[in-house]
Amino acid sequence: MKVTTYLTTLLSAAVLLSCMPEIDTDKFTNYTYRGEWGIPLVNSRVSLQDVLAEDTLFTIDPDGGLRLIYESDSVFGFAIDDFAAIPGQDPLETTVPLDVPSLNVSTSLGTIGGAKFKQLRIREGSLKLEVDNPTANSVDLSVTINNADISGQTFSINLTATPGISSQTVDVAGLDIDLSNNGLTENYLSFEIDILSNGGATAGQTVDLALTYEELLVGRAVGYFGQRTVAVPSGNFQLGVEAFENFLNGLYLADPTIELVVSSNVGLPLQLDLDLDGVSTAGQLESLGLAAINITGPSVIGNYDTTNILIDRTTSNIVDFIANVPNTILYSGAGIMNPQGETGTDNFITADGEMQVGLRIDLPLALRTQNLIFQQEIGNLDFGGLTEQTDAVEELTLKFHVENEFPFDADMKLQFYQNDVLTDSVLLDLFDAAPVDGNGRSTGYQITDEDEVLSGDKINRLLQADRLVMTITLNTTNNGNTTVKLYEDYDILVQLGVDAKLNYDL
């Protein structure tokens, strides 16, 4: 075998190995995907039991009917300073002759609203004593409050008045004052001033004494507290019914009630003019429209009196108030103390005096809905590469299958949003109301199958959407004119599938 033979053989092999096949992988980059898919997208069964599990406000009646109860022991309240306030006092000024052993002076407690106190306990406050001594020597005085004591001890204070003006302030917290002057009058204040040392003053010489109660707060009071207006502290509270959060309006309940519960240990009649306004998620305001409420309070010190005021469709605007589906309730108003004026019965209040106003909203879910709006957003939509091409989906059919046990029928408006701009929408007759018996109870499921075929432009706008807003309008049986009842065992199945024919360039 010659070398040339070997070389020829090897060369031939090399030539063969150099003939590698021609490969065109770019052709797949122009591939148009034309798959046809039928895909179930959403399967959601919601029962009222699911709602109940999430929402503690629902209770179940013995017959399985649902009732929504919101309770708050204290929405707002009043305390002792609201009812028994003492305004700033004028000074009691007297000239004290230095050549007598003592003298008595009296005055009246300044009050507001014509209040006439018979007994007071000072919770906080002070007594300011100011002396103008024109003599050349110091003078020693003792000031005693005649009709007051602290824990049984007569309140007395000594002071030395140096020549010129001097003053002293003493704490009078805990001071019990009998302002009735032994049952003869009200608001009576009396002082005794003893001259302990006149500093060698000659006859006719005097000092000027001014006594002023400052910043008195009442710890206990008996008497007539006057007729005046106290403001209800304005505020709001969230109703916190999650089931209502996405409803907008149109929820007409047959027998809603609100019970106001006023608990008070203040012996004081009060006429309460209360404003309760409900604000829906959409910001719509509806007033409850309450009449004035009269509260009498307890007749014996230390007792609590509870007043229950039932608000229903006959005494208020509660049906429309609830139909607005309030999410937030605003409260404000005013109370008139002693609305009948002075009746001869003493008012009283103690340091722990309070008047708390709570409420109990009781909504038996016997209702009718007329165009009750439910809204739900589906965000974070991402259709992936389908959004990069127009006409990437040739045909698209949304297929709804609904098994509904609720006595509502529903129409749905599905709105497509792109960058918060509404680009398109579709309307669907989503499901029909389940039939009801004479008691308004559903007797079975109503099955609805609805297909919505989307056109090319609509498909493109749907695929471009980054957010869908689903607005469902609910009407009870008979177009919202029949009152139905909701029971915990109601549920609804919503299935959404799609049939899609793609025309997508890879």
Applying CB under 8 A, the residues found at the interface with other proteins are 1-3, 6, 9-10, 13, 16-25, 27-32, 35-44, 46, 50-51, 54, 242, 376-384, 397, 399, 401, 495-499, 501-502
> Each residue of 450-469: b (16+ CB within 10 Å) or e?
eebebeeebbbbbbbbebbb
Q: How far is the CB of 440 from other proteins (least distance, A)?
A: 23
Among residues 2 and 152, whose Cβ is nearest to other proteins? 2
Q: How far is the CB of 38 from other proteins (least distance, A)?
A: 3
The answer to whether residues 268 and 296 touch, using CB atoms and an 8 Å cutoff, is no
Among residues 44 and 153, whose Cβ is nearest to other proteins? 44
Give the Cα separation of 189 and 172 in Å (integer): 14
Among residues 251 and 258, whose Cβ is nearest to other proteins? 251
Among residues 288 and 372, whose Cβ is nearest to other proteins? 372
Nearest one of 363, 355, 297, 293 to 324, comparing CA atoms: 363
Give the Cα separation of 157 and 142 in Å (integer): 6
Q: How far is the CB of 236 from other proteins (least distance, A)?
A: 24
Nearest one of 108, 103, 203, 90 to 143, comparing CA atoms: 103
Q: How far is the CB of 503 from other proteins (least distance, A)?
A: 12
Among residues 313 and 458, whose Cβ is nearest to other proteins? 458
Question: Does an H or E element contain 215, and which?
Answer: strand 206-224
3-state SS, residue 243: helix
Cα 118 from chain centroid (whole Å): 39
Give the Cα separation of 77 and 359 in Å (integer): 12
Q: How far is the CB of 68 from other proteins (least distance, A)?
A: 15
Among residues 266 and 412, whose Cβ is nearest to other proteins? 412
Q: How far is the CB of 58 from other proteins (least distance, A)?
A: 12
Non-local CB neighbours of 472 within 8 Å, separated by 6+ positions: 373, 374, 375, 376, 410, 411, 412, 413, 430
Other residues' Cβ atoms within 10 Å of the Cβ of residue 356: 19
**DSSP conformation letters of 340-388:** T---SPPEEEETT-EEEEEEEEEEE-EEEESSEEEEEEE-----GGGGG
Among residues 181 and 397, whose Cβ is nearest to other proteins? 397
Among residues 24 and 63, whose Cβ is nearest to other proteins? 24
Among residues 36 and 81, whose Cβ is nearest to other proteins? 36
Nearest one of 190, 109, 113, 183 to 147, comparing CA atoms: 190
Q: How far is the CB of 393 from other proteins (least distance, A)?
A: 12
Q: How far is the CB of 478 from other proteins (least distance, A)?
A: 27
Q: How far is the CB of 21 from other proteins (least distance, A)?
A: 3
Non-local CB neighbours of 437 within 8 Å, separated by 6+ positions: 443
